[in-house]
Structures are given as C-alpha cells and as structure tokens.
Amino acid sequence: MSARFAAGDEVRVRRASPPGHVRTPYYIRGKEGVVSRLIAEHPNPEELAYGRDGLPVLPVYWVRFRQSDLWPDYQGPEGDTAEVDIQEHWLEPVEDDGG
C-alpha cells in the first residue's frame, strides 16, 4: 500500500463542495486532525456512485478530531474526540509554520 500519511501525522480535510455524491462529511471539511491509523485501500466511493470502476483504489485513514474543534459550542470534556474514516484524496498535510 502506498499511503501518503502515517499514524501521528497532522492533516487537514480539504474544504471543497463538489457536486454529486461525496462521502466526506461537511462538518469536517477544513478541520485539522491527526491520523490514528491507516485502515486499508478501497475503491473511490465518489466514482462508484456514478457506475465507474472506482480506480485507482485509495488509502483510507481514521482521523481523530477534537470535539471542540468540530462543534464550537461543545460543552463536554476537553479531551473528547471523534474519529472519522477519510479517503486520502480529501487530506492534505498540515504544514509547520515554524511557530
């Protein structure tokens, strides 16, 4: 498997709103998280939805987000997280800004 990211990598979900079938939830787009683990490679569901072959297969990751980053009014404990499975083409690395 030729995965771009590894467990512990900081990633950002692309902020995009393409038309048609999109499996990546809107509430995580533009949010930063940490790769928990690489799950497997799967055909692209956005292509499969239109009767295409879904190829090439893409790595799928579990990405962990802090609940307070996802929901501005979140009242739970600071350490609460949510994990979402996301295909690689929706992820970009979080660049270190030197600060």
Mean predicted confidence (pLDDT) in 60-83: 95
Torsion, CA 29, CA 20, CA 6, CA 30, rounded to 10:
-10
Q: Which pLDDT does position 97 carry in this prediction?
A: 56
C-alpha–C-alpha distance, residues 29 and 32, integer Å: 9
CATH number of 10-93: 2.30.30.50
Which residues touch 83 (CB under 8 Å, ≥6 apart)? 36, 62, 63, 64, 65
pLDDT at 98 over 60: no
pLDDT (tens digit, 9 = 90+) per residue, 10-68? Answer: 999 999 888 777 889 999 999 999 999 999 999 998 889 889 999 999 999 999 999 99
Length of the chain, in residues? 99
